[in-house]
Each structure stands twice: as C-alpha cells, then as structure tokens.
Structure 1
C-alpha cells in the first residue's frame, strides 16, 4: 500500500506534491495542538461553531473587497476549522465516527455521482441543465423536497435566494424577466394600498410585515432572474453607506462639530461631498 502511494506521488506534478505536503503539515500541526495545547484540547464541535461562522463572514468580507492576500489568510482559517472538526470526530471520545480522509472521499464520491455528464453517460450542455440534474439526483438520494437542502439557519435574504434557485432547478420559475418585474410592481402596489405612507392611519404591524416580506421576496426573485446576487448587492450598499457616513463624521469633527448638534441640512452638505469621494 505504501509503495503504491509513493509511486502515485512520484508521478504527480511537483506543485501537487507540494500541496499534499502542505495539507499533511496542517494535519500534523492539528494533531500536535489537539494533544498538547490546553485551549485546543478543550474545544468541541459546539464550541467551535460560532468561531467558524465568524471566520466564514471574514472570508466573505475579503471576497467582497477583492483583497487576495486577505482571502488567502481567511481560507487558511476556514481550512483549519474543517480539519479541527474532522480531528474531533476521529477521536475515541467522539466515537471515532470519521476522519479527514472520510470527509474528503465522501465529497469526492458525491461530486462524481452528481456529475454524470462528466463521469457517466448523461448529457448536460448548459448550466441550467446541470442544476436541474443536480436537484433531481438529490431527490433520488432520498431528499423528500428540493427545498430540503436549504439550511433553516440561513439569513433570510440568502435563504430567499436559495429557495428560488432550487425551485428553478425543479422547473418552477418564470419564463420572462418582465413577468418577474410585474410581480414586483404588483406586490409594491399591494403594500402601498394597504399602508399608504401619505396618511397617518394606524398600521397593522403584523399585516404590514407580511406584505413587506412579499415585496422583498419578489425583489430577490427579480435580482436572481437577472443574475444579481441580492446579498452581495445589499452588502456593497451597506459598505458604501458606512464609508460615506464615516466621511460625514470625519468632516464634522474637522470643523469642530458633533452630529447631534447639526441640522439635517448641514449634514446633507457633507453627505453630498462624500458621494464625490467614496
């Protein structure tokens, strides 16, 4: 067995050998930390969970900023967490359920099974057909619904996008973008008719929330239909607002002012300046 592995390594390109050695180095360090470091010994899957979520968001931020050095760093942090979970699962106190080899072989087997147009005789010559095949294969594997794979804990905006993508994979979608936009306008008109901002009439908060949710869902649907990721779009706007607001704060300080003492008209001057620079 060892001879076969050595032979395989020798026939691999030099860079692939370096990649495998780097991965082996990480596994070795993980073993050493788990056995010798008090903090690492104490960790469980539950204790790592919130840290993994944080690392994932940090990676997401780096991707949005197109900061390649930071992406490289954050990928390493995420990789460490993946290796950490597998190491914990391999230990006797966890039941020695699986290790990193099981994880990697499992995802490899899934990728091969889900790509019969590459590893079998199926035909899928468009991205849309690949997605449809993917969802149908998941149903054959035991999923009772094409929506079963959408995590319940996803943020609502991301979840809306994934729900709609999966429904599309099952063939349930609009045919033309104009139809989708008409739905957006319909939902917005319903919301306006129910909760006209021009009046002081008391609003039924529960009903308003429901109707507003319909407006957002329809906007997400249109964004998806024209290949805009709504989560990314909103986050870019968040970042833009932060930069401009911080410019406003900085300029106010330079002029010896505090926002709480300024009028909206005074703040608007700085805001319009910010739009020119950030």
Structure 2
C-alpha cells in the first residue's frame, strides 16, 4: 500500500464512528505525531500523564457510586484512553505495544483462573478463590525476585489504599492484631499521642499514625475505607447543601449566618434523613 493509500485509510478509520479499538489507537498515534500532532499531547510523558490516569479511575468510581450509568460509558472511555496514551508512549520508546499490554493481561487472567481456563474445579467459594488468587500472586512475586513481604506494593497508590495493602501483606505472615478491640485501643492511644504532640512535625507524624491505624480498623471490619470516606463526603455534601437551602429560604447565605444557626439546620437535615430511612 502506498503512503497516499495508507494516509487515506487512516483518515477513513479516524472518522469511522464504528471504528472501535483500531480507531482509538490511530487517533492516539496521530495526536502524538511529532510533526502533525497536538503540541500538548506530544509534550507529555509517563510522569505527566499518570495523575490524569488516577483522576480518571476515580471518576469511574464516582459514576458507579452515584449509579450514573449514562455517564459510566464516557468515564470508562476516558480511563481506556489513559491506557492507550501510556501504551503509545511506550511504543514510541520501543518498550511495548498496546497489543502486548492486552496479551499480558490475558495471560495473567488465564494463569490466575485455572478453575475457569484450566483443569481445576470451579466448585469453590469466593473466599477460597481469593486465597488461591493471593497464592498465585505470591508465586508471581517470587518469580520477580520480590523477597520482602511488602515488596511490590505500589508507591503510587493513594495513601489510604496503600496502607490497607501493606497491612494485608503483613497480616498474612501473622503480624496483626487478633481482634478489633486491640485496634480500637491503639486508636485511643494514637489519638492521645496526637493530643500531646506540640511541634508541627510531631503533629503531622502522629496524625499519620492515627490515619494508618484507622485504615487497619477498616480492614478488620471488612470495610473499604475509600468507599466509607466517599460516603461520608457525600453525606456531608448533602447536609451542607440542606444548610444552604434552609438559609436561602431566610434570604441568607452561609457567610451571613453563624455556627449555631447552621448547626441547627444541620441537625434538622440529619433528622430528616433518619426519618426517611425508618
């Protein structure tokens, strides 16, 4: 195929509304073309794109949390585009291609599900599957020469999520409190140490210790701390918006009010929510 024919085929693919994955890959290639691409896209690298990747993952989680199914398709597309972006940059450096990324994931899923794609029986509980999954991942880490218990827990994870993962790894080898009672006792201890801290560095350290133990309590209670905090954020937003609405009915804004008035409106919103649930 001549260059002219190739360019024409690429043009047709880019403008094909049903071009699927090949269309997206070609669009990404064009965006990164050093001569005819988008200057912003060309200027990016792995480090500059990584924050967008994390942001898009959270936006997917947000759409699911809100059950905004009409938005989810677009958010998943945004997240997919991040993978395509990273794969394109890797391809330019001769590291790997998008197809190799897909093949690597396919190989991993087949290897980690011998009860689906192999000879093992799939008559196992979800808990047993989790245990088997962790055993397979441990073998994979050993093959990568990761010898330490905490090796391979990604540094780039959100701190709260990484805390839980570190604690899970340590718990597998017996380094864990036997029950939630000990964890709660530790929370009380850390809170007191935070109360007694004086200089800013010490305060930050003790605050971090308290957050770390709170993440451990979430693990013991089998709660996803990120999901719990998102729910708390949503509740705070609802109730504060109720404060704003209540003040608006009085011809006021929050800055025109005081804490006592806003607290009363907060309590009223809280009471309404409880009555609606009962």
Q: In which range does the TM-score fall when normalised by the shorter chain?
A: 0.7 to 0.9
Deviations along 1:74-100, one digit per CA (max 9) or x if unpaired, are 100111121122123223xx2x22211
Which sits farther off after the overlay, 182-191 or 223-232? 182-191
Whose relative contact order is higher, 1 or 2, with alpha carbons under 8 Å and at least 6 apart?
A: 1
Q: Name the TM-score, length of structure 1 as normaliser.
A: 0.75
Summarize the Cα distance change of 1:204–1:26 in structure 2 as closer, same or farther, 3 Å threshold.
closer
Which sits farther off after the overlay, 68-77 or 51-60? 51-60
Deviations along 1:169-210, one digit per CA (max 9) or x if unpaired, are x343658xxx432222321332355466xxxx7745555544
Partner of 1:223 in structure 2?
Answer: 218
Alpha-carbon separation, structure 2, partners of 1:205 and 1:104: 47
Q: Tell whether the 8 Å contact from 1:191 to 1:208 is kept in structure 2 after alignment.
A: no
Alpha-carbon separation, structure 2, partners of 1:208 and 1:79: 40
Identify which of 105, 108, 117 aligns with 1:107: 105
Matches within 5 A, 1:70-149: 70-91=71-92, 94=93, 96-119=94-117, 125=124, 126-142=128-144, 143-149=146-152
Partner of 2:238 in structure 1?
Answer: 243
- Give the aligned length: 248
Partner of 1:166 in structure 2?
Answer: 169
Q: Tell whether the 8 Å contact from 2:186 to 2:213 is kept in structure 1 after alignment.
A: yes
Alpha-carbon separation, structure 1, partners of 2:62 and 2:142: 36
Alpha-carbon separation, structure 2, partners of 1:107 and 1:195: 44
Unaligned regions of 5+ residues in structure 2, if any? 1-17, 274-278
Q: Aligned-pair distance for 1:212?
A: 4.1
Q: Aligned-pair distance for 1:271?
A: 1.1
Summarize the Cα distance change of 1:255–1:111 in structure 2 as closer, same or farther, 3 Å threshold.
same
Alpha-carbon separation, structure 2, partners of 1:213 and 1:44: 33
Is 2:229 the partner of 1:234?
yes
Alpha-carbon separation, structure 2, partners of 1:217 and 1:194: 14
Partner of 2:38 in structure 1?
Answer: 38
Alpha-carbon separation, structure 1, partners of 2:55 and 2:37: 22
Alpha-carbon separation, structure 1, partners of 2:170 and 2:133: 11
Summarize the Cα distance change of 1:192–1:108 in structure 2 as closer, same or farther, 3 Å threshold.
closer
Q: Name the TM-score, length of structure 2 as normaliser.
A: 0.75
Alpha-carbon separation, structure 1, partners of 2:240 and 2:26: 47
Unaligned regions of 5+ residues in structure 1, if any? 1-19
Is 2:51 the partner of 1:53?
no
Alpha-carbon separation, structure 1, partners of 2:139 and 2:153: 16
